[in-house]
Amino acid sequence: MNTEKRNYHHGGLREALIEAAVLILEEEGIPKMSLRSIARAAGVSQAAPYSHFANKDALLIEVAAYGFSQFSYALEKPKAMSGDPKGLIEHLVTLGVVYVNFAMENKALFQLMFGDALSEISKSESYLKEGQRAYDCIDKAVRHLKDEGAATVAAWSMVHGLATLMVDQKIDFTNDVEKQVRSILQFLNLK
Amino acid sequence: MNTEKRNYHHGGLREALIEAAVLILEEEGIPKMSLRSIARAAGVSQAAPYSHFANKDALLIEVAAYGFSQFSYALEKPKAMSGDPKGLIEHLVTLGVVYVNFAMENKALFQLMFGDALSEISKSESYLKEGQRAYDCIDKAVRHLKDEGAATVAAWSMVHGLATLMVDQKIDFTNDVEKQVRSILQFLNLK
DNA sequence: ACCTGAACACCGTTCAAGT
DNA sequence: ACCTGAACACCGTTCAAGT
């Protein structure tokens, strides 16, 4: 395993570094995800990443963008089944459950995605694109119930607040995420 | 200024280190807040902090606890003026504004307080005590409108979500925090 | 163009030694 | 008991040098 050092000279190190970073991120946590440990995991020297990224942040921004692409994919999967109000509310609950489950199953990645450690992240095309996809998903679901920008922000804040409080261990860990999401969304009134 | 090196031998280094950490935290940000830079700011050697704290995290936990004491104080200040429903809702809006304003005016401290970087924080007496004070404030205000645990979690999630999204720059920065808080809390239905 | 090895300035932490 | 100075094992980043 350790000895099958692939030949990254044939163009693949950039992606391999991102993959290695994602692995270390979820398996060892943010503090252990150093640029040097990522390079080690990819089987290259400590300075090699600088051939593909301006600095550590630039690599982490790509990791965050990858996270948003996975996140958006998960949010786009469940399709609204019926057009009646009850079905629309049920769809919103489903999105909330997907949101919180993603956060709990990818804690460190979620923190990287939504934290503000990466000062240049808003200059990344892929981050903006994948992030917008996720936002559009929530926005569309909310606007079917209440076509107002503030309503989206309200729903998003509520679900995101629960997700962060759970990930950051400020709220009792509940295995039953759906029950938890349902219990707060009952207090969201989209008239 | 640099030369007036106080004599910390007479018991004050512990508090001086916490103060120095708070200053660096807000003025230079989390990445610059190293244990060595804190020690430098307090005018002692790099190893001196270990006479008062087991490690860097132990010091940061005290900083977070200090943050919660300030936070709780701010939340306790505004008193509910009238007992009628309208006054109670107004009180909740006020608490939301205080919450978000604290986050925006103490970004790095807020992130330290509510992040999960400090793995041993839940073992700190002062953190638990000051954190409980803040929670009780919100819980009391919500329970006057709707006496249900889930209602508190819903209101807290919504306000905390807005605060984190703003601090982490995932939502358009708005100078008018009150307007923003009001615009989302209109969708909180405590029946 | 892509990668290495050595170097620099940082870090957290430990430990013998000083007072 | 409290603090220092030196040391250790880490970092991120730069740069000359190799292919």
Element (H, E) at A110: helix A107-114
In the predicted structure, residue A4 carries a pLDDT above the cut 60:
no
The protein footprint on chain C, as nucleotides within 7 A of a CB, is 2-7, 10-16
Q: What are phi and psi of B188, to 5 degrees?
A: -90, 120
pLDDT for the residue A66: 98
* CA distance between the termini of chain B: 58
Angle of helix A177-185 relative to helix A149-167, nearest 10 degrees, comes to: 140
Q: CA–C1' distance A155–C1 (Å)?
A: 49
pLDDT tens by residue, A22-44: 999 999 999 999 999 999 999 99
In the predicted structure, residue A110 carries a pLDDT above the cut 70:
yes
Burial (0-12, 13-18, 19+ Cβ within 10 Å), A70:
middle
Alpha carbon separation from A28 to A103, A165, B34, B84 (Å, rounded): 17, 21, 22, 52
Q: Which of residues 108-147 of A touch strand C (CB under 7 A)?
A: none
pLDDT for the residue A173: 84
pLDDT tens by residue, A117-156: 999 999 999 999 999 999 999 999 999 999 999 999 999 9
**Are residues A154 and B190, on separate chains, in Cβ contact within 8 Å?**
no
Element (H, E) at B102: helix B85-105
| CA nearest to B72, candidates B153, B131, B124, B159 | B131
Question: Which residue ranges form the domains of chain B, and what is each CATH number?
Answer: 1-53 (1.10.10), 63-188 (1.10.357.10)
A55 in contact with nucleic chain C (CB within 7 A): no
Cβ atoms of residues B163 and B101 within 8 Å: no
pLDDT tens by residue, B38-51: 999 999 999 999 99
Give A178's contacts (C-beta < 8 A, 6+ positions apart).
A93, A97
Q: Which amino acid is at B59?
A: L
Burial A101-126 (b: 16+ CB within 10 A, else e): ebbbebbbbbbbbbbbbbeebeebee
Assign A86 a pLDDT band (cuts: 50, 70, 90): confident
Q: Give the minimum alpha-carbon distance from A143 to chain B in angstroms, rounded to a whole number.
A: 13
